[in-house]
Structure 1
């Protein structure tokens, strides 16, 4: 049985298309007051977001959390870098792996688990254009097989 995530708020659907995801990590997010309210309302976008490691700490960049409507002047900046909460061993592993050529750290999902906002980050190697085409061919072939089996059964 797969890992159980809480209530999934946002997914990065392009990540599996653009990267071979080799390993995933669950990380907490350091948020400001109005950010968690916007996340719970589902106003998060992971498109074009990425994670970096600076001075031994992990950050997620370009993750867009929309401003909270009732937030008045205490509202947050939508695309500010947000710190990720990971164990030291996980950060060290990410540092080592991400320095290899072609590897990136990509946010895959944002979800609420036990009342806390979590991000599933993946260590991914970028796909070439022909890899993406091959994946699309395999997906189409699987769809065709499933459709043929369904037609046969009915």
Structure 2
């Protein structure tokens, strides 16, 4: 029986604050059984995660998937590098842009799509301090506008 739809597991909120998103890619992940079970109970975070192309393959580093609590002897390493599944032309494109233009590969979210674990990988450019201040100012202005609309209603 195939599950339909998309179920969000984890989201990297700091990535939207720290980076300008240039392009997004949907990738598959190579995982072991206890990692998938741990993801099903929501035991993960993407706070410091990043991706890198090595030897024509792309890996995600520092993505923490906690140990599965019901596995006794065959549990996984929580911070091991995990291979991402992309087409060769997409990997070449990401490699060239990341190296030539100084862009970063940052995971935005992890989710189940039709029963498979997927990740949204973004090609990002880092924000400077004044860009972050602009983001904070915009967010505060939006919050004030919403608050005033709610009071007037």
Q: CA deviation at 1:146?
A: 2.0
Tell me the residue number matched to 1:117. 117
Q: CA deviation at 1:88?
A: 1.1
Q: CA deviation at 1:101?
A: 4.1
TM-score, normalized by length of structure 2?
0.93
SS of 1:7's equivalent? strand
Counterparts of 1:149 and 1:76 in 2: how far apart (Å)?
50
The question of whether the paired residues in 2 share the 8 Å contact of 1:102 and 1:126 is answered with: no
Report the count of equivalent residues: 149
Tell me the residue number matched to 1:8. 8
Gaps of 5+ in 2: none
Tell me the residue number matched to 2:28. 28
Gaps of 5+ in 1: none
Counterparts of 2:133 and 2:30 in 1: how far apart (Å)?
38
Counterparts of 2:69 and 2:93 in 1: how far apart (Å)?
39
Q: Please show how residues 45-84 of structure 1 align to structure 2 within 5 Å.
A: 45-84=45-84
Q: CA deviation at 1:97?
A: 1.0
Aligned CA-pair RMSD: 1.1
Tell me the residue number matched to 1:40. 40
TM-score, normalized by length of structure 1?
0.93
